Amino acid sequence: MTQPRAEPTLIWNDGMATVPREAWDALAEPCPFPFLEWDWLALTEESNSASALAGWLPRHLLAWRGERLVAAAPFYIKAHSGGEFVFDHVWAEVASRLGLPYYPKLVGMAPFTPASGYDILLAPGEDRAEMVFRFAREALQLCWGLGLSGVNVNFAAPRLAVELGGLGFSAWEHQGYVWENPGYTGYGDFLATLRRGPARNIRRERDSLRAAGVGVEMLVGDEITPRLMRHMYQLYVRTNAKFGPWGCKFLTREFFEQVLDRAGRRLALAVARRAGSSDPLAMALFTRKGERLWGRYWGAFEEVRNLHFEVCYHTPMEWAIAQGIRWFDPGMGGLHKALRGFRSIANESLHRFIDPRLDGLLKAHIGEINALERAHISDMNSRLPYAPTS
């Protein structure tokens, strides 16, 4: 007679350094989202990018069956909303008007990553619905026990968003971008799907850089050197400095110095140079896993017309087609992405506040808020350059 399995033991952990790397990555490797892998998460903590010093107190939730790790998800206790890209200051204001503290709060996400994919990592053979329920219940109990305002799961993977919605969490939609490759054999195939005017504009953008003697190449593996990563950090700082208080400088120098050794197999780098020069003119950092590509950070040492579009969109798209990449998230941004073929989509964050008044207000108004966001998404997609299909 088969004996029933023992109940999993759920434990809150205070950092990746005390989680066995092999055990965590056995769960993370099948996940298509590279920002949940041990090296990436550990480096954000060790570099003091997402650490207690930066206002990200790690509280990762682990499920064990005996000595075997069977489920895991990164969480953080936070006293601010920086680096989340879910702009929840309106709910902090509502809480204040109710006389409630909004901070600290519990946040589940891959730090500084505004892209859908956060998930509960699960071992084969585990009951997913049961484990999602256990994790949600444990997260709410932690909030009750520590006096946190609630559980916030940012940029959830689509299936996790559905599952948490069924457990009473409110789904909040946020516009994002994606480009999909249906199986192009070359960049010309992509241009052939566009209306004549937008296709001509893209060709002109690319030709203008060639005429200026600027070339762009994609580098991977050993082609990416520590020197280039030092330049990438300089550009990261330079780009964020342009935006003053609206900048998004969250990663430290130590992160950029170590990420090549720690997660180099996931990186790609677009490098622009002038003819005859070995020094980078501009660069953009990308992350890849399987058939998916994410644009992360970009910067330029000199302003050159159309350089941003070539480094961040055109060259990476051409490379993605050659590499068989089917899905490219370029990061947050404005209309210029839509005009170059990136479709707007809805990313979701899931929220459950402990105080019933605040949670009730969220539930009462989130439908209207999401309707406005969907209208914005629809408007952005009306600007797409694709020709009508017959």
Looking at every residue in the chain, the average pLDDT score rounds to: 96
**HSE-up of residue 42 (Cα within 13 Å, Cβ side):** 16
CA-atom Rg of the chain in angstroms: 22
Strands (E), the chain: 9-13, 56-58, 60-65, 68-73, 75-78, 105-108, 121-122, 150-153, 170-180, 214-220, 267-274, 282-289, 292-300, 327-329, 343-353
What residues form DSSP beta bridges with 56?
A: 78
Label residue 220 exposed, middle or buried (CB < 10 Å: 0-12, 13-18, 19+): middle
* Residues 323, 315 contacting (CB under 8 angstroms): no
- DSSP 8-class letter at 246: G
Residue 1 banded pLDDT, cuts 50, 70, 90 = very low
Residue 111: helix, strand or coil by DSSP? coil
CA–CA–CA angle 256, 257, 258 (5° rounding): 95
Residue 276 banded pLDDT, cuts 50, 70, 90 = very high
pLDDT digit string, tens, across residues 180-195: 999 999 999 999 999 9
pLDDT of residue 300: 97
pLDDT digit string, tens, across residues 108-124: 999 999 999 999 999 99
Question: Domain locations in the chain?
Answer: 9-175+346-381, 182-325
Strands 75-78 and 105-108: antiparallel
pLDDT digit string, tens, across residues 289-336: 999 999 999 999 999 999 999 999 999 999 999 999 999 999 998 899
**What span, in angstroms and rounded, lies between the C-alpha atoms of 7 and 168?**
24
Say yes or no: do domains 9-175+346-381 and 182-325 share a fold: yes
**What span, in angstroms and rounded, lies between the C-alpha atoms of 371 and 383?**
19
Residue 245 banded pLDDT, cuts 50, 70, 90 = low
Strands 105-108 and 343-353: unpaired
Superfamily per CATH, domain 182-325: Gcn5-related N-acetyltransferase (GNAT) (3.40.630.30)
Q: Domain spanning 9-175+346-381 has what CATH number? A: 3.40.630.30
Residue 246 banded pLDDT, cuts 50, 70, 90 = low
What residues form DSSP beta bridges with 11?
A: 62
- DSSP 8-class letter at 194: B
At residue 277, does pLDDT exceed 60?
Answer: yes
At residue 2, does pLDDT exceed 70?
Answer: no
Residue 365: helix, strand or coil by DSSP? helix
pLDDT of residue 4: 65
Q: For 134-143, 244-253, 316-325, 370-379, which range has the lowest pLDDT when averaged over its residues?
A: 244-253
Contacts of 261 (CB under 8 A, 6+ apart): none
* Residues 85, 332 contacting (CB under 8 angstroms): yes
Residue 11 banded pLDDT, cuts 50, 70, 90 = very high
